Amino acid sequence: MTAKLTTVRCGALTTVQDSGRPGHAHLGVPLSGALDAPAMRLANRLLGNDPGAAVLETTLTGCVLRPDRDITAVVGGAPCPVTVDGRPAAWGAPVRVPAGAVLEVGAVTAGVRSYVAVAGGIAAEPVLGSRATDLLSGLGPEPLRDGDVVEVGTPALPVALPVAAPWPAPPAELVLPVCPGPRADWFSPAALRTLTSAAYRVSPHSNRIGLRTEGPSLERARTDGLPDGLPDELPSEGMVLGAVQVPPDGRPVIFLHDHPTTGGYPVIAVVAGPALAAVAQAAAGTPVRFTLG
């Protein structure tokens, strides 16, 4: 038999995540998966798991877990204190957690999302090939609640301790390379200059669906309707990961892994995929700059 983890404290938001559900956007199913995919993959590699094995993604306040059998775990991503039965344990490296002991993942000291990987991976039931929790569509396991029990898979190999690895620090400033979006012509030249020159900040209203920004509004060029009498709002069209959508308030929103697959607000730009891991760890108030390139 494999181990089971009882959720003693679920924290602000703890979900099961893996590499997500690529290839289902035509069905209206978002990608989902770990927002900081490099952190998930590194934590899994330290345990001998498949890099995309399911992990727990915590948000800001961590979580507390109790295994019913001995396990080996790694807590990585956003830095945070880690304890086992109240005794300090390593962050970012494999830790043995005896059966019945309490693994506490504390509140982050920087960043937003920590990852709890366990040797063998989290063995939630797959949906469309993924164990990821999708907050928008409701696919996958529900976010953890106090008292929930999560099953662990069978470890592939024993984990040799200790193991060290370099972990990137959460960003003090987000510098996001973008390319022009499919609806850049819906905005004035001044708006395009503003996007790539003004200072924005991460809004506290951000979530797994999108990172909202605070800062200057972007001016629309088309406000009186389009040719042939069409209205000045778009019919819904396909949306991609990293799309920078501009709602009526004019402040950019960066679409993240649980984003809707269609939308009607114009996309002024698209953030390059490799930059999105840093977006996942940008706390409220973090400065944001968009750069062409």
Residues 6+ apart with CB under 8 A from 95: 72, 73, 74, 75, 82, 84, 89, 103, 161
Confidence of residue 232 (pLDDT cuts 50, 70, 90): low
Confidence of residue 227 (pLDDT cuts 50, 70, 90): low
Domain count, the chain: 2
Boundary-marking domain end, from 84, 118, 151: 151
Is residue 116 in some structural domain?
yes
Burial category of 164 from C-beta neighbours within 10 Å (exposed 0-12, middle 13-18, buried 19 and up):
exposed
Residues 80 and 200 in one domain: no
Boundary-marking domain end, from 151, 183, 209: 151
- Could you tell me how far CA 290 lies from the centroid of its own chain? 20
Is residue 23 in some structural domain?
yes
Residues 198 and 144 in one domain: no
Residue 195 carries which side chain, given as an amino acid letter? L
Please, are residues 157 and 18 in contact by the beta-carbon 8 Å criterion? no
Mean pLDDT in residue range 48-71: 97
Confidence of residue 27 (pLDDT cuts 50, 70, 90): confident
Residues 46 and 135 in one domain: yes
Residues 189 and 268 in one domain: yes
Boundary-marking domain end, from 151, 183, 203: 151
Q: Which residues of 34-50 are buried (b: 16+ CB within 10 A; e: fewer)?
A: bbbbbbbbbbbbbbbbe
Strand order in the sheet with 82-84: 87-89, 82-84, 103-105, 63-67, 4-9, 149-151
Residues 101 and 66 in one domain: yes
Residue 280's SS3 state is helix
Residues 187 and 74 in one domain: no
What pLDDT, in 10s, does the model give residues 171-218?
A: 999 999 999 999 999 999 999 999 999 999 999 999 999 999 999 999
Residue 225 predicted with pLDDT over 80: no
Mean pLDDT computed over every residue of the chain: 93
Residues 50 and 118 in one domain: yes
Please, are residues 103 and 90 in contact by the beta-carbon 8 Å criterion? no
Comparing 184 with 232, which gets the higher pLDDT?
184
Q: What percent of the chain has pLDDT over 90?
A: 86
pLDDT number for residue 163: 78
Residues 228 and 108 in one domain: no
Task: Give dist(CA 261, CA 19) in Å, integer.
Answer: 17
The DSSP call for residue 12 is S
Which of these, 58, 38, 27, 54, lies nearest to 260 by C-alpha position? 27
Task: Give dist(CA 40, CA 26) in Å, integer.
Answer: 26
Is residue 165 in some structural domain?
no
Is residue 168 in some structural domain?
no
Residues 62 and 121 in one domain: yes
Residues of the domain holding 186:
174-292
Is residue 185 in some structural domain?
yes
Please, are residues 262 and 239 in contact by the beta-carbon 8 Å criterion? yes
Task: Give dist(CA 202, CA 212) in Å, integer.
Answer: 6
pLDDT number for residue 229: 43
Residues 141 and 47 in one domain: yes
Query: What's 258's domain CATH number?
Result: 2.40.100.10
Mean pLDDT in residue range 204-233: 78
Residue 230 predicted with pLDDT over 50: no
Is residue 162 in some structural domain?
no
